[in-house]
Amino acid sequence: MIIKIIITINEYAIKIKYAFRDVRLVGIMVATYELKYMEKFSMFGLGIE
C-alpha cells in the first residue's frame, strides 16, 4: 500500500514536471485524485458528505 502510494506520487511528479506549462491538466489530475479518495472515505462514513 505505502509502496503503491510512493509510486503514484512519483508518477504525478513526472507528469507535473513534463506538463508544468499546462496548469489545467495538473489541476484536473489533482481534482480527480481527490474525488476518488473523497468517495472512498465517504463509504466508510468519515463525515464527508
Instruction: Report the pLDDT value the prediction gives residue 48, as an integer from 0 to 100.
Output: 47
On whether the pTM is more than 0.75, the answer is no
**Averaged pLDDT for residues 8-25:** 73
Domain boundaries, the chain: 2-43
Higher pLDDT, 32 or 37: 32
**Averaged pLDDT for residues 34-48:** 63
The Cα 30–Cα 49 span in angstroms is 19
What does the radius of gyration of the chain's CA atoms come to, in whole angstroms?
13
Cell readout for 8 is 503514484
